[in-house]
Amino acid sequence: MRATQIVLVLVCFLGIYAPMLFCANVEYDHRALVIDGKRRVLISGSIHYPRSTPEMWPDLIQKSKDGGLDVIETYVFWNLHEPVRGQYDFKGRKDLVKFVKVVAEAGLYVHIRIGPYVCAEWNYGGFPLWLHFIPGIKFRTDNEPFKAEMKRFTAKIVDIIKQEKLYASQGGPVILSQIENEYGNIDSHYGSAGKSYIKWAASMATSLDTGVPWVMCQQADAPDPIINTCNGFYCDQFTPNSNTKPKMWTENWSGWFLSFGGAVPYRPVEDLAFAVARFFQRGGTFQNYYMYHGGTNFDRSTGGPFIATSYDYDAPIDEYGIIRQPKWGHLKDVHKAIKLCEEALIATDPTITSLGPNLEAAVYKTGSVCSAFLANVGTKSDVTVNFSGNSYHLPAWSVSILPDCKNVVLNTAKINSASAISSFTTESSKDIGSSEASGSGWSWISEPVGISKTDSISKIGLLEQINTTADKSDYLWYSLSIDPKDDAGAQTVLHIESLGHALHTFINGQLAGSQAGNSDKAKITVDIPIKLAAGKNTIDLLSLTVGLQNYGAFFETSGAGITGPVILKGLKNGKTLDLSSKKWNYQVGLKGEELGLSGGSSGQWNSQSTFPKNQPLIWYKTNFAAPSGSNPVAIDFTGMGKGEAWVNGQSIGRYWPTYASPNAGCTDSCNYRGSYSSSKCRKNCGKPSQTLYHVPRSWLKPHGNTLVLFEESGGDPTQISFVTKQIQSLCAHVSDSHPSPVDLWNSDTESGTKVGPVMLLKCPHHNQVISSIKFASYGTPAGTCGNFYHGRCSSNKALSIVQKACIGSSSCSVGVSIDTFGDPCTGVTKSLAVEATCA
């Protein structure tokens, strides 16, 4: 053995990243990824490093591990890391290497999705805007300028990972990489050039010699050895393009994204668990949640357009880093149940048989090892089925998992996990400016209307916005002076057509009207009544973007801004005046941006004269103390219009609390049975899409913090408030037909006795105990967490039994049976519902 081999073996044996041994040979066969010669069933979850902070990463990743994940998946964001060609940034939230190392320290693997197109509801799909200006370039096709840039950045990321020895073949945690992203959804638009581009991308990626497999998602023709994978709400019917490749699911959408002007989407955990179990039932071995933690779109990183600042995604860990129950807990149980089947899953292919209409059994059996999945894919009726001589109750739209082909460890529709209600508590306003009319504690600067910077330009005709601003700012001023002559004093109409995304119209310095598009239609057509004065009149149009297009064929050609026509209507004698071809003056960005007002230290801030409220184009500043404690912090922007906010110079993103969702489209509850879509389950109709905006704790000092707002349309900053988020109540609702908790599977089967269903509660923080039982009922209770009520029958012992078992303890368990509570109503399926608080 050569010395180099001795060193390699020693590194592999010791492991670079405790506590998991990472040095691995990662391959694949038709069943699974093969790590050091062993097939693996892997549960993965997406966490995007720039959508949280480095201080949040360890806790997020530990909660992911505690939830049963083996792998963390993340995109790599080109425009974040190379905002100027050749100038790279990997600091702070952009520190990809640090993020990967934090994952490794927790003992988890990593899947790096380099793309470099990422979609991800991220600005411009992750591409830097300077790419758009390279001569002759066309994105994501067989185009030499694009391929050269794509290869350069991809190689850069691979080199960084290699230099840090982060690939599994080097002793690191990275077991997979992805090239391109969902190209198969749109490749038909590119014809033969699209097909040759995909072949090139595959060849380019594999030539970089990462030592781990590459994948392409949603790419049915992914060339060997690239693994083609599935994205979607369900992937049980997916089949890879070769019988030598495993069945992998790179994006199981745990919810959906929020748009400004849209209702809040959510996905019931019973349906999500059903989708996961069905995937493994039908031969899958790698499944990733998109997202497991969604996080926050800080700065101007949102895509869309009109993607909201919150990227919560109804994920198992919420935007603030708090576990979302029962989603996190029920999925944890699903993961444990699947891992109990791993030996059988990796040993053979499933044998799938029908048990009747909409009923299906899948059996994995080899030698003495046997695991089974029983599915009822019907949406209407619960069914009792016979399988291997035993009867099993299958609720509609559910899967039962039998690790030993006999005993049910879990049914996806029956939740053993506790649920939780979270709430926001408003902090005292004494340290965040004043709510008094004087505005004491706030200072301000008025943003000039129209052209105020020395770098303005003049052009004949109307300019498209993105080509003009290069996305250096959301804002572009279009300014024009006209003399109406004989039409002075007349009531006229200014007709404006814009590609979007929003518009504020000023006539002679006064706001005359505003208009915004929406996520379905960014384009704007507006008619604004105006009255022109005698002599010179100034028309100043402030056009703004709300995140650039991030998806679709040729998305880079989607424009923005006022491309016309702009027409004065209703002049004397019915005449119109087309202003489109006049000489317009243009200003990219705001004067306040040029002055660096967002940092709060520069500029001549005014605190003496009358405080401006509900006026457009105002910069506001105040100082505040951080809310006490350690609970996550947000700002409630109720009272403001639209703009952007900075805390200690760091942008918490765009705020837009006045943009409400339509009144229709929401329901009080959502039936999890039946196929999910992004519009199926929505809440918050008729209300603002987002009023609360996350402020990471790590951005705050105990005292002397600076908050800066730029308000476009008009608002009252004295109405905003700081809030903290906490768990208000814990709940559980377990029937006497539920399986025993998954954690009791081994003791249950080995002892030969049936433990039966158990109600479990556990306080969210280690220093808390259960302080009160707000509700307890055994019998036929109904309702949901926070709104339970007694049914027709209820044991009079329930409250005292639960209080005795739980109060004063950080966790408790109570058997759900008539042995515990007596039988308040014979012949009826009974359940125990409990609501508790921790302190």
Which residues have a catalytic role annotated?
182, 251
Q: Which helix (H) or strand (E) holds 469?
A: helix 465-469
DSSP for 354-367, please give it: EEETTEEEEEEEET
Answer whether 739's CB lies under 8 Å from 410's CB: yes
Phi, psi of 3 (to 5 degrees): -60, -40
CA distance 318 to 90: 25
Residue found under tokens 């109406």: 484
DSSP for 96-139, please give it: HHHHHHHHHHTT-EEEEEEES---TTBGGGG--GGGGGSTT--T
CA distance 616 to 350: 64
Number of other CB atoms surrounding residue 735 within 10 Å: 13
Sheet strands (E) in 166-285: 174-179, 214-217, 227-232, 248-253, 264-265
Chain-centroid distance, C-alpha 368:
43
CA distance 283 to 348: 9
Give the orientation angle of helix 144-163 with respect to helix 96-105, to 10 degrees.
40
CA distance 18 to 39: 22
Answer whether 541's CB lies under 8 Å from 562's CB: yes
Sheet strands (E) in 637-762: 643-647, 650-655, 682-683, 692-695, 705-711, 721-735, 758-762
Return the bridge partners of 538, or none: 481
Residue closest to 186 by CA, chosen among 139, 242, 234, 224? 139
Q: 351 to each of 235, 372, 373, how far by Cα in Å?
A: 18, 9, 10
